């Protein structure tokens, strides 16, 4: 029961934080800790905010990019690696304001379908507004939880997701659902944050860092194991890049000895993973 309560609490934190993010500009999100203005503080000092932008990749050169839908929240470019073909159905898990959906739509074309799923109402509203302005009739956004996706079996040719799975408490359920909604022979390309080495307990306990895609991450080997245990085949890591947290961020949570240990033995990475059903 305690575990279920904790999972519910984490979902509430993420929903609230990304509800705030939906109301901010890309600049505000990129220059504020965890993507939410004034959300990460030094202990005992609620006035001091540490600012940083270390996760997002540049989408601006990708076909279909729409600036209004780019909140600077991703940690990779999964749609660039997703091998999307004309006429396919693409599902984006954790679609936010629609950024990856609009890039996917440029690949699948007018004959394809793109479905964005998010469990933050403010993000759904923002994405639908963006789609309406662009005049896209084959891109739709639905409200739902990645652990219980409100779509039928075997609906997607391709699934993409950008820096979202690590925020889901049960990654086993998330990947089981991803497997369920993919057509036989379909595949996914997902960018996410993973850990190599043990993340300091101080960071694990920081709820704000959880919403910022760090403390919700798990060991890379464990993450990849969940994917294979879900039934996926031909898995490959398409891209891996280090996430370098500024010292002033780490100092918020770690003492001198903890910081030295973290820099020596731990690593936070963005990976883009591909696998087939």
Please report, for the domain that includes residue 73, its CATH number.
3.40.50.150
Alpha helices in 85-185 (DSSP H): 99-108, 121-134, 171-181
Q: What is the pLDDT of residues 182-200, one digit of tens each?
A: 999 999 999 998 988 876 7
Q: What token pair was written down for 162?
A: 């950008």
Average pLDDT of the segment spanning 150-167: 94
* Domain enclosing residue 110, as ranges: 2-276
Task: Give the confidence band of 52 by pLDDT, cuts at 50, 70, 90.
Answer: very low
DSSP 56: P
Q: In a 3-state reduction of DSSP, which class is residue 147?
A: coil
pTM over 0.75: yes
Give whole-number Cα distances, 172 to 73, 145, 168, 191, 228, in Å: 23, 13, 9, 16, 10
Alpha helices in 111-237 (DSSP H): 121-134, 171-181, 201-204, 207-211, 220-229
Q: What is the pLDDT of residues 65-104, one digit of tens each?
A: 777 666 666 788 999 999 999 999 999 999 988 999 999 9
pLDDT above 80 for 262:
no
Count of the separate structural domains present in the chain: 1
């Amino acid at each position: 029961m305690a575990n279920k309560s904790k999972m519910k609490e984490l979902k509430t934190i993420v929903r609230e934080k990304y509800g705030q993010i939906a109301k901010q500009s890309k600049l505000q999100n990129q220059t504020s800790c965890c993507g939410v203005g004034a959300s990460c503080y030094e202990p005992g000092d609620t006035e001091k905010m540490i600012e940083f932008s270390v996760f997002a990749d540049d989408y601006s050169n990708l076909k279909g990019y729409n600036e209004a839908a780019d909140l600077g929240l991703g940690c990779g470019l999964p749609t660039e690696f997703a091998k999307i073909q004309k006429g396919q159905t693409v599902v984006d898990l954790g679609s936010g304001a629609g950024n990856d959906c609009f890039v996917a739509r440029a690949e699948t074309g007018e004959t394809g379908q793109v479905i964005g799923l998010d469990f933050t109402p403010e993000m759904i509203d923002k994405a639908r507004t963006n789609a309406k302005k662009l005049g896209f009739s084959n891109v739709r956004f639905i409200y739902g939880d990645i652990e219980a996706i409100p779509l039928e079996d075997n609906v997607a040719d391709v699934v993409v997701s950008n820096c979202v799975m690590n925020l889901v408490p049960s990654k086993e359920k998330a990947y089981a659902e991803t497997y369920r909604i993919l057509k036989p022979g379909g595949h996914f390309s997902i960018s996410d944050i993973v850990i190599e080495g043990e993340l300091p307990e101080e960071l694990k306990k920081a709820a704000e860092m959880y919403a910022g895609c760090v403390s919700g991450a798990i060991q890379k080997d464990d993450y990849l194991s969940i994917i294979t245990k879900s039934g996926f085949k031909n898995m490959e890591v398409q891209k891996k890049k280090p996430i370098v947290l500024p010292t002033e961020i780490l100092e918020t949570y770690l003492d001198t000895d903890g910081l030295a240990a973290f820099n020596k033995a731990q690593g936070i990475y963005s990976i883009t993973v591909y696998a087939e059903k």
